[in-house]
Structure 1
Amino acid sequence: MFIRILFLFCLLLCASESYKILAIFPTPSHSHHTLASKLVKELAKRKHEVTFVSPFPQKETVENLKEISVEEIIPIFNQQKKHLFKLNELTIFENVIFVNNIGLLVTEELLRNEKIQKLLESNEHFDLIILPQFINEGLLAIGHHFKAPVVLLSSMPLFSWSSFLLGHPTSSSYVPNIQTHYTGHMNFWQRLCNSIYDAYSILYHQWVVLPKHRRLVKKYVPGQPDLYDFLNNASLVLVNSHVSSYDATIQVPNVVEIGGFHLEEAKKLPEDLQKYLDGSKEGVVIFSMGTLLKSSSMPKEKLQALVQAFSKLKQQVLWKWDSEEMEGKPRNVKLVKWLPQSDVLAHPNVKVFITHGGLLSTMESIYHGVPTLGIPVFTDQKANIEFAVEAGSGIAVPYPELSEEKLSQALDQIINNPSYKTNALKRSKIMKDRPIHPLDYAIYWIEYVARHEGAPHLRYPGMGLAWYQRYLIDVAFFVGLALGSVFIITKQLLKLFMGTQNKQKKKTKKN
Structure 2
Amino acid sequence: MKGAVLLLVLFISSSNVQGAKILGIFPVAAPSHYILGNSLMRGLAERGHDVTIISPFVEKNPPKNGTYKDIVLTGFVEEHKSLVKKMNMFDMENKNFLFLAPFIIKIMLDSTEKVLSHPNVQNFINSDETFDVVIVEQFMNEAHKAFATHFNAPLILLSTIGASSWPVPYVPNMIDIGGFHVKSPQKLPKDLQEYLDNAKEAHPNVKVFITHGGLLSTLETIYHGVPVLAIPIGADQKLNAQHSANQGFGLMLGYKEVSEATLTDRLKELLSNSKYAKNAKDRSKFFHDRLVSPMETATYWVEYVIRHRGALHLRVAALDLPLLNICVREKIIKMTTTSIFVFVFCLIYTVQTARILGVFPLPGKSHYFLGSALMRELAEKGHDVTVISAFGEKNPPKGGSYTDILLTGIPEEMEKRRNEMNMYEIGDLNPFINIPFLTYMISEIGEMTLKHENVQKLINSGEKFDAVIVEQFYNDAQKALATHFGGVLILFNPIGANYWVNGLAGNPSPPSYVPDTFLSYSSHMTFSERVINTLVYGLNTVVHHFYLYPKQNRVIQQYIPNGPNVQDVLYNASLILLNSHPSINQPVPHVPNMIEIGGFHVKPPKKLPKDLQEFLDSAKDGVIYFSMGSNLRSADLPTEKPHPNVKLFITHGGLLSTTETLYHGVPVLAIPIFGDQQLNAQLAVNNGYGLSLPFKELSENTLGEKLNELLSNPKYSNNARIKSKIFHDRQVTPKETATYWVDYVIRHKGAPHLRVTAVDLPWYKYYLLDIIVFMALIILILSFISYLILRKIFCILRSMKKENKMQKNQ
Q: TM-score, structure 2 length as denominator? A: 0.55
* Aligned positions of 1:3-402 closer than 5 A: 4=339, 7-8=342-343, 10=345, 14-63=349-398, 64-81=401-418, 82-294=421-633, 320-321=634-635, 338-341=636-639, 343=640, 345-402=641-698
* Aligned positions of 1:453-464 closer than 5 A: 453-464=749-760
Are 1:394 and 1:420, in contact at CA under 8 Å, matched by a contact in 2? yes
1:76 and 1:486 map into 2 onto residues whose CA distance is 66
Are 2:353 and 2:383, in contact at CA under 8 Å, matched by a contact in 1? yes
> CA offset at residue 190 of structure 1?
2.3
Secondary structure at 1:89's aligned position in 2? coil
What's 1:466 paired with? 762
Are 2:351 and 2:747, in contact at CA under 8 Å, matched by a contact in 1? no
Question: Quick check: 69-78 or 171-180, which moved more?
Answer: 69-78
Are 1:92 and 1:179, in contact at CA under 8 Å, matched by a contact in 2? yes
> CA offset at residue 448 of structure 1?
0.2
1:6 and 1:438 map into 2 onto residues whose CA distance is 12
* Change in 2 beyond 3 A, CA 1:9/1:481: closer
Match of 2:776 among 468, 480, 496: 480
> CA offset at residue 270 of structure 1?
2.1
* Change in 2 beyond 3 A, CA 1:407/1:96: same
* Change in 2 beyond 3 A, CA 1:278/1:130: same
* Change in 2 beyond 3 A, CA 1:42/1:161: closer
Q: Give, as a single letter, the amino acid of the residue that structure 2 aligns with 1:371.
A: P
What's 2:288 paired with? none
1:506 and 1:177 map into 2 onto residues whose CA distance is 67
> 1:413-440, CA deviations, whole angstroms, 9 ceiling, x for partnerless residues?
1111121111111111110111111001
Question: Quick check: 489-498 or 499-508, which moved more?
Answer: 499-508
2:340 and 2:527 map into 1 onto residues whose CA distance is 47
> CA offset at residue 43 of structure 1?
0.8
1:470 and 1:237 map into 2 onto residues whose CA distance is 21
Are 1:88 and 1:400, in contact at CA under 8 Å, matched by a contact in 2? no
Q: Give, as a single letter, the amino acid of the residue that structure 2 aligns with 1:199.
A: G
> 1:294-353, CA deviations, whole angstroms, 9 ceiling, x for partnerless residues?
3xxxxxxxxxxxxxxxxxxxxxxxxx42xxxxxxxxxxxxxxxx2222x1x111111111
2:626 and 2:787 map into 1 onto residues whose CA distance is 72
1:453 and 1:389 map into 2 onto residues whose CA distance is 43
* Aligned positions of 1:411-430 closer than 5 A: 411-430=707-726
* Change in 2 beyond 3 A, CA 1:86/1:80: farther
Are 2:505 and 2:756, in contact at CA under 8 Å, matched by a contact in 1? no
Q: Give, as a single letter, the amino acid of the residue that structure 1 aligns with 2:595.
A: V
> CA offset at residue 14 of structure 1?
4.8
Are 2:355 and 2:465, in contact at CA under 8 Å, matched by a contact in 1? yes
Are 1:180 and 1:382, in contact at CA under 8 Å, matched by a contact in 2? yes
> 1:166-213, CA deviations, whole angstroms, 9 ceiling, x for partnerless residues?
321111122121111112222333223222222222232222221111
1:192 and 1:414 map into 2 onto residues whose CA distance is 33
Secondary structure at 1:430's aligned position in 2? helix
Q: Give, as a single letter, the amino acid of the residue that structure 1 aligns with 2:384.
A: E
Q: Give, as a single letter, the amino acid of the residue that structure 2 aligns with 1:450.
A: I
1:98 and 1:402 map into 2 onto residues whose CA distance is 26
> CA offset at residue 402 of structure 1?
1.7
2:703 and 2:484 map into 1 onto residues whose CA distance is 52
1:488 and 1:77 map into 2 onto residues whose CA distance is 64
Secondary structure at 1:462's aligned position in 2? helix
> CA offset at residue 80 of structure 1?
4.5
Residue 703 (structure 2) pairs with residue 407 (structure 1): yes
Q: Give, as a single letter, the amino acid of the residue that structure 2 aligns with 1:144.
A: T
> Any stretches of 5+ residues in structure 1 without a counterpart?
295-319, 322-337
Give the number of the structure with larger relative contact order, counting CA–CA contacts within 8 Å between residues 6 or more apart. Answer: 1
Secondary structure at 1:7's aligned position in 2? coil
1:349 and 1:110 map into 2 onto residues whose CA distance is 44
2:494 and 2:396 map into 1 onto residues whose CA distance is 25
Q: Max radius of gyration: which structure?
A: 2
> CA offset at residue 473 of structure 1?
2.2
Are 1:259 and 1:438, in contact at CA under 8 Å, matched by a contact in 2? yes
> CA offset at residue 117 of structure 1?
1.8
Secondary structure at 1:230's aligned position in 2? helix
> Any stretches of 5+ residues in structure 2 without a counterpart?
1-46, 48-291, 297-338
* Change in 2 beyond 3 A, CA 1:190/1:126: same
Q: Give, as a single letter, the amino acid of the residue that structure 2 aligns with 1:85.
A: Y
Aligned residue pair count: 468
Are 2:654 and 2:676, in contact at CA under 8 Å, matched by a contact in 1? yes
Question: Quick check: 161-170 or 29-38, which moved more?
Answer: 161-170
* Aligned positions of 1:472-511 closer than 5 A: 472-492=768-788, 494-495=790-791
What's 2:28 paired with? none
Secondary structure at 2:483's aligned position in 1? helix
Question: Quick check: 271-280 or 491-500, which moved more?
Answer: 491-500
Are 2:473 and 2:500, in contact at CA under 8 Å, matched by a contact in 1? no
> 1:343-378, CA deviations, whole angstroms, 9 ceiling, x for partnerless residues?
1x1111111111000000000000001100010111
Question: Quick check: 235-244 or 495-504, which moved more?
Answer: 495-504
CA RMSD, 1 decimal: 2.3
1:163 and 1:80 map into 2 onto residues whose CA distance is 31
* Change in 2 beyond 3 A, CA 1:160/1:9: closer
Q: Give, as a single letter, the amino acid of the residue that structure 1 aligns with 2:406.
A: S
What's 1:447 paired with? 743
Secondary structure at 2:427's aligned position in 1? helix
* Change in 2 beyond 3 A, CA 1:11/1:367: farther
Identity of aligned residues (%): 39
